[in-house]
Amino acid sequence: MSRAPLVVFDLGGVVVRICRSWREGCQAAGVEHRAEADGPLGGPAVRGLVDRHQRGRLACDAFFREVAAATGVHTPAEVERVHRAWILGDFPGIADTIDRIHGAGVATACLSNTNATHWDQLHESPAFMRIGTRHASHVIGFAKPDAAIYRAFEREVGMPAGSLVLFDDLPDNVAAARACGWTAFEVDHAGDTAAQVIAALRGVGVNA
């Protein structure tokens, strides 16, 4: 790299553990899982609601109401309970990994598809609070893998694509970042995310 990199973290699946299904979310929230909701929740209507929510175009209360209506079986209060239970805490070792990166003289940031409720909750995460600068889709107004969010991030941090190193657990987000000229690594959320970050950084010359 022509200059010191900025290490950019996705949050869910890299820094914090999250529920990976509605069933898991219901279990975490203590809400009865109703299988008849699974189809609508995986359908295009709810995906559209999630996208608008993550882009800051749908307020949280409205999101809960509209998702509940789409399921046909859950109340807005139940949807909100599941939503608030979605973040499960930091991955082991990731907070220390961020400290190690800073100790190597390298700055960090995050770029996450998220929403106002989860963004507030993330402030309880020790790892999140260690990240140098924090950037969220619902604030920027774009969401990964749209190229617009990567370009907006570059402008916000004042760094070129070639100096940005992204860690994300979704292949589409990684591919989009690479298409924008970033260095990007796919993280396996089922594995040791901290170890994966350290190993990948060594490959680009950052010995954290």
Q: Residue 61: what pLDDT? A: 98
Q: Is the pLDDT of residue 1 over 90?
A: no
pTM greater than 0.85: yes
pLDDT single digits (tens) 164-197: 999 999 999 999 999 999 999 999 999 999 999 9
Place of tokens 């594995």: 191
Q: What domains can be seen in the chain, in order of their start residue?
A: 6-18+89-203 (3.40.50.1000), 22-84 (no CATH)
Which residues does residue 6 pair with via DSSP β-bridges, in sequence order? Answer: 107, 164
pLDDT single digits (tens) 145-164: 999 999 999 999 999 999 99
